Amino acid sequence: MRFLFKTDYDQDIRLFKHGGQVFWYGLLMALLLTAPFTVGEYVMSQLHFIFIYSIVGLGLMLLVGFTGQISLGHAAFLAVGAYTEALLQAKGVPVFISLPCAALFSAAAGLIVGLPALRLKGIYLAIATLAFNVIVEEVITRWEGLTGGNSGLHVKPVELFGVKLDGDAGFFYLCLGLTVLSILALMNLLRSPTGRAFVAIRDSEISASCMGVNLAKYKTLAFAISAALTGIGGALYAHKVSFISPEQFTLLQSIELITIVILGGVGFLHGAVLGAAFLIVLPQLISLAKDYLPANVGSSGLQAVVFGLVLIGFIIFEPLGLYGRWLKLRTWFELFPFYRKGMFRRQKSYMKSERLR
């Protein structure tokens, strides 16, 4: 077990708390940087998707895991990002302008959705965001002049400063870079007053406002930042799949995105990345398993069933998600043989004061 001797407030603020973290994250980074030379085309393609979904997952994690606002409409922000990127790229706008535009447009959409969040909570907010998802999907389908409707849009490969990133490696580094930047930005935010205000809103709106947190401002801000990250993810997604149409941004997509957050572990940035990796790897495992199953079991509905079962299983048996499972495992090893079963159980809270709203 590691004991940290703290002699400086800076030790609680810095991103890497000790040498072990520097080593392991450094190793991970080195492996990822050399990945284009060591892994095949297929794995490379899966890694692209993992990074894209990680960015989206991070955005959603900020909203759901840290601000406590549920959203069942994030596919809409994904769509806004993807279509913005596709249309601007078609006009010949360079990617270092179109990508921020995709983020900006999504953030604007996020602000609009954030407005009902000021009045709605829990399941009602979920329904409002769900409705937003359906509206955006419908608008994209009907606005044929702009979006091509159901016949979709083709998206060119990324071109950065005249260099085409259509090769796997170039696009890989772009996705990796943006994922790392997103993580750093969120970590910075979470160690500053803004991040703490988000967490305060999650845990108790009433006392957050009594501490001077402007609920309206911070809730819409959370929606905007979350949507901006999702928009960036959407733009990368458009480049990756090179063809976008409304049926990629349905409610089912939104549910897959929320699955990332729940499987990964609500309230952990690690959870967003782990959840994204799980979401991408699981279908591959299912299709591998199909070879060993009777022909009629391995039909197309299998994936949805497995996803549903996994989601339910996690909610019942491991509400802290994959990252929570890892924390428990690590603590078990650190404390061996003194680990107790209830160590991570959250204590029932004392009576809340009179509910004012």
311 binds other proteins (CB under 8 A): no
214 binds other proteins (CB under 8 A): yes
Question: Does residue number 111 form part of the binding site for other proteins (CB under 8 A)?
Answer: no
* Member of 2, 91, 341, 346 binding other proteins (CB under 8 A): 346
- Tell me if 185 contacts other proteins by CB under 8 A: yes
Looking at the Cβ atoms of 145 and 212, the one nearer to other proteins is: 212
Nearer CB in complex with other proteins: 197/261: 197
Contact 265, 322 (CB under 8 A): yes
- What is the Cα–Cα distance from 59 to 227, expressed in whole angstroms? 7
**CB distance 259 to 311 below 8 Å:** yes
DSSP for residue 352: P
Candidates 2, 5, 7, 10: give the one binding other proteins (CB under 8 A).
10
Smallest separation (angstroms) from other proteins to the CB of 185: 5
User: 3-state DSSP helix/strand/coil percent for the chain, to nearest 5?
Assistant: 70, 0, 25
Which class for 1: exposed (0-12), middle (13-18), buried (19 or more C-beta within 10 A)? exposed
SS3 category, 337: coil
**Binding pattern for the stretch 233-272 against other proteins, x by CB under 8 A and - elsewhere:** ----------------------------------x-----
* 7 lies in the site for other proteins, by CB under 8 A: no
Stretch touching other proteins by CB under 8 A, among 43-51, 81-89, 124-132, 343-351 = 343-351
For the chain, the straight-line distance linking the first and the last C-alpha, in angstroms and rounded, comes to 45
Chain-centre distance for alpha carbon 339: 31
Q: How far is the CB of 32 from other proteins (least distance, A)?
A: 23
Phi, psi of 90 (to 5 degrees): -65, -30
Q: How far is the CB of 186 from other proteins (least distance, A)?
A: 9
Q: Is 9 in the site for other proteins (CB under 8 A)?
A: yes
| Ramachandran category for residue 65: left, alpha or beta (phi over 0 → left; psi -120 to 50 → alpha) | alpha
Kindly state the smallest distance separating residue 254's Cβ from other proteins, in Å. Answer: 25
**Helix (H) / strand (E) containing 188:** helix 168-190
Residue 243 three-state SS? strand
* Contact region with other proteins (CB under 8 A), list: 42-50, 203-211, 291-299, 319-327: 203-211
Quick check: 71 and 56 in contact, CB under 8 A?
no
Residue 292 makes contact with other proteins by CB under 8 A: no
Summarize as ranges the residues that interact with other proteins (CB under 8 A). 9-10, 12-13, 185, 188-189, 191-197, 199-200, 202-204, 206-215, 221, 267, 346-347, 349-354, 356
